[in-house]
Chain A
Amino acid sequence: MDQEAAKMLGAGLAMGFGALGPGIGIGILGAGAMQALGRNPEARGVILTNMMIAIAFAEAIAIYALVIAIILAML
């Protein structure tokens, strides 16, 4: 395989597989937050902030994959 092709393939795979887990995680988080919201609508503000923070944790992992992908594609 061509070296450049391998790099691009690696970048795409890194981003694709790296987005898989965080995607599932954010889905679970969103579902949990919506359920909590449905059960206790008064706690909207607290639930939303906590959801955002938790989503940021999950999203960070996808961002690491993105950084790896950018570095791979640019080197």
Chain B
Amino acid sequence: MPKLGLKSKIAIAAVAFIAIVLIGAIFFPVAKPEAHLAPNYDSPFAKLGPIYVTNTLITAWIGIVLLIIFFFFATRRMKLVPKGLQNIAEWIIETMLNFAEGVAGKENARRFFPVVATIFLFVLMNAWLGLVPIFGVIGRGSVPTTVSDNLLHTLVPSLFPNYQGFEVTVPLLRPANTDINVPLMLALVSFVCVEYWGITSLGLRIYLSKFLRFGEVLAGLGLLIRGKIKSAIGIILFGAIDVVVGFLELLSEFVRILSFTFRLFGNMTAGEILLVVIASIIPWGLASIFYGLETFLGVIQALIFSVLTLVFATMAITQHSSEKEHE
């Protein structure tokens, strides 16, 4: 056998890889991708009173239980010098706390940390759970009646029988973030917490004055009554702009819920669809690269959800100062 250079070795490997991928794509087609927005409420797996136990709920429970087990065993016998699991847990918490302190400052970060870290861990756990291979393949389904488009069967029908496998239509496990209710729940928790922190640290009156800014208009009206018309008109005009700005801020507070929800839901659903689409285009090999991408995206989405909560909370507890700018 002649000795091959590195370049030709790489070329041979590349050709073999492409050939395998093409053969896989042509002869062993994967089922067509299918996207679901909400879990299958018409066929839940169990019903506890008014609660429908759907596939995403089961996954969310699994995620929570895994987190509880990890942190229970990590903190069971705590030592001053951490070792093993405790070391990992301390590293996770410390990294997150340092990051939060960098964004919100030392005291505020300690206050916001429990909620923000919980959101981070929950989102991350659910995002990564969805990449475990058992997801989406166990569940209810049926053997489809339509003939498969297996090319081997069409070419040599006697050698390769038209095998039709079991097709799962309602999977037992589905990543919780791809159910729009889970991101909505997280967004509502984040919204309520941010408002609570804002009200408790500023007081209800000052906090509301961020949004309902009638102060200048009232002052202008007072001037108008006293007869100083010229200066009153200017103040009223500026006050009107202020009222509109306050209303827009109030609106943006609620739009956040929507944007939180759809950002997480859309990203996670898009990731799921991407994986299925890639698997149906090129069944062999290439899909694993996109699993790496999805692993990264899970961290990014968890980071974004928690950091945005942190940033909004920091914004909510800082006093508004634009009233002083006009003076």
A interface list, Cβ under 8 A from B: 46, 49, 52-53, 56, 59-60, 63-64, 66-67, 70-71, 74
Contact = CB atoms under 8 A, between A and B. Distances in A.
Interface residues of B, number: 19
A59 B267 CA distance: 9
Contact of A56 (B35, B262, B273, B300): B300
B262 A52 contact: no
A74 B263 contact: no
B307 A60 contact: no
Contacts of B262: 60, 63-64, 67
A53 B265 contact: no
Contacts, number: 40
21 contacts: A46-B102, A49-B99, A49-B307, A52-B300, A52-B303, A53-B311, A56-B263, A56-B304, A59-B263, A60-B262, A60-B263, A63-B262, A63-B266, A64-B262, A66-B270, A67-B265, A67-B266, A67-B269, A70-B37, A74-B35, A74-B37
Nearest to B99: A49
Contacts of B270: 63, 66
Contacts of A56: 263, 300, 304, 308
A60 B263 CA distance: 5
B209 interface: no
Dominant SS among interface residues on chain A: helix
Given A66-B266, A66-B270, A60 B303 contact: no
A64 B262 CA distance: 7
Interface string B276-306: 0000000000000000000000001001100
Contacts of A46: 102
Contacts of A49: 99, 307
Given A52-B300, A56-B300, A70-B37, A63 B267 contact: yes
Dominant SS among interface residues on chain B: helix
B142 interface: no
Contacts of A63: 262-263, 266-267, 270
6 residue pairs, one from A and one from B, having the closest CB atoms: A63-B266, A56-B304, A60-B263, A67-B266, A66-B266, A64-B262
A70 B304 contact: no
A52 B304 contact: yes
A47 to B, nearest CB: 13
B147 to A, nearest CB: 23
B259 interface: yes
A53 B37 contact: no
